[in-house]
Amino acid sequence: MRNRPQSLLKYLLAFSTVALVFAIAAQAQSALQQPATKSASSQPAPKRDLTGVWQYQGSGGADSMTADKDMPPMTPWAKAKFDAEKPGYGPRGAPGGNDPILQCDPIGFPRIMFMPTPHEFVQAPGRVLQFWEREHEWRPIWTDGRALPTDADPTWYGYAVGHWESDDTFFVESTGFNEKTWLGPTGFPHSEGMRVVERYHRVDHDTILYDMTVTDPMAYTKPIVAPQRILKLKPHEEIEEQPCVWSQENEFAQRIRNPATPKPVK
């Protein structure tokens, strides 16, 4: 009888050891069978490749490039334009505003980057194409070595050139913007002299860290540096056709939006 507790202890020890070994083996086996369960984001980024549909991780609504309080001081020219705008959002938001996108005027760049709908990169010879689901818009980012023009005709989406700074960071510069677009939903203006610099840093297979700086001395006394944003890959997705159709937008506004908009509180 004196030996029974000792043998029981040995038995328990042996059993628990075996059980532990099995547990470890099972976990290892599981890891071998499903190497990606540690989330696809642990996969490294492919080199010099932004191909795919990407989703800006924002508020879920239309965001400004940076918070109003962080905007640098405006020049008198810009302040006059700003004061004349009647945005639908922000501290000055009011119904019946003059935000050009309400009548389906192009959203333009860079405002379109902070919309809650995805965009897609397609890489082709000599250019990277960027497609936005919203408005069914797109722009070519020329990668054929051409210089940024000094006299580009002003357009809604600008003229962009890009190059790879490294295997995982794509650098884009753009100019040639008309001044008809707002920088965001609260009505900040920009001039035709605006120049935008962006960095798309693909840190892993599913993640881009996105930085943007707007330089526009005619409108702002300092560059506008947007907070870094995250873009996430949406594999197996295709962007939809979503043009802004004024006749439908107008009909919607007449029937629903305008009657529903509350009167401003004074």
What residues make contact with another protein under the rule CB under 8 A? Answer: 100, 103-106, 122-125, 127, 129, 131, 136-138, 153, 155-157, 240-241, 243, 245-247
Closer CB to another protein, 7 or 247, in the complex: 247
CB nearer another protein, residue 176 or residue 185: 176
Distance CA 11, CA 238 (A): 60
Q: Specify which residues 231 forms β-bridges with.
A: 56, 208
Quick one: which of 188, 161, 151 has its CA closest to 67?
188
10 Å CB burial of residue 124 (0-12, 13-18, 19+) is: exposed
Minimum distance from residue 220 beta carbon to another protein (Å):
25
Looking at the Cβ atoms of 90 and 140, the one nearer to another protein is 140
Strand partners, 254: none
- CA dist 49 and 47 (Å) reads 5
Between 17 and 103, CB nearer to another protein: 103
Q: Give min distance, CB of 249 to another protein, in A.
A: 8
Nearest Cα neighbor of 207 from 48, 37, 34, 50 is 50
CB of 176 to another protein, least distance (A): 9
Q: Shortest gap between Cβ of 18 and another protein (angstroms)?
A: 51
β-pairing, 195-204 vs 207-215, is antiparallel
Give the contacts of 115 (CB within 8 A, at least 6 positions apart). 56, 62, 63, 107, 132, 134
Closest CB to another protein among residues 43, 51: 51
Which CB atom, from 123 or from 207, has the smaller least distance to another protein?
A: 123
Contact, 175 vs 157, CB < 8 A? no
C-beta of 128: minimal distance to another protein in Å?
11
